[in-house]
Amino acid sequence: MSDVMTPKSPLESVLKPGVHAAPDGATGVSIEERRDVVQLQLIARKDKAAEAGKAFARFLGQKSALGPLEGAQRNGLLICATGPLEHWVFAQGRSPADAIKELSGIAGASVSLFDQSTGRCVIRLAGRHAVDVLAKGAPLDLQGDALPATGASHTAIGHIPALVCRRTDPPCHDISVPRSYAGSFITWLGGAALEYGYVIEKPRSGG
């Protein structure tokens, strides 16, 4: 038996699966906690930013490094350039230890890696009104081109610090928030989504 215990989700008692329909019976938003996502923050070491960018480009099969806020996915790793020296990785289908080992092999000594998985929650928003809901609280122009089709940006949603990650496969937005703010974020989210109606899905857990 492992000596490492997985922390209990702070949303276990507040994000209950169910349907919360709009007055007209519609449900335009899907809300799902993603417990199966490993979150890694990668910071380029001194004078190593260009080297790190090239390493990720090689792994992703691209000719050049990711541009500001851009992201790309390969083999269950979504890598996003979230700052001049920072990349954020969402990994699925592997443990945090395996993800760290894999990213260390990709980027080598050009980055320092920090596992943020136990300190943050990921909430996935999908559906035809997901962007409308986020627009109520985020200063990002998510209905325009402020964020690439696949990419991520640090922002605030309803005054709550968040990392917004836009995906195309499947079409959705993954919102990463600190554990201590997760309950407050869900309270805000429920109010913002109420006019469109929403469905809370069963949490997705890792294997």
What is the reported pLDDT for 201? 96
Tell whether the model's pLDDT for residue 179 goes beyond 90: yes
The residues near 98 (Cβ < 8 Å, ≥ 6 apart) are none
Scan for tokens 């559906």, then name that residue. Answer: 127
CB 123, CB 79: distance < 8 Å: no
* The model's pTM: 0.92
Domains 18-36+118-200 and 38-117 share a fold: no
Tell whether the model's pLDDT for residue 36 goes beyond 60: yes
Q: Where are the domains of the chain?
A: 18-36+118-200, 38-117
Tell whether the model's pLDDT for residue 5 goes beyond 60: no
CB 153, CB 140: distance < 8 Å: yes
Options 1.20.140.10, 3.30.160.70, 3.30.2310.20, 3.30.70.1520; which CATH number does 38-117 get? 3.30.70.1520
User: DSSP string covering 4-68, please?
Assistant: PPPPPPTTTTT---EEE--TTS---EEEEEBTT-EEEEEEEPTT-HHHHHHHHHHHHT-SS---T
Exposed e or buried b per residue across 41-54, where buried means at least 16 C-beta atoms within 10 angstroms of its C-beta: bbebeeebbebbbe
Reference 92, options 23, 46, 40; nearest CA is 40
What is the reported pLDDT for 2? 43
Q: Which CATH architecture has domain 18-36+118-200?
A: 2-Layer Sandwich (3.30)
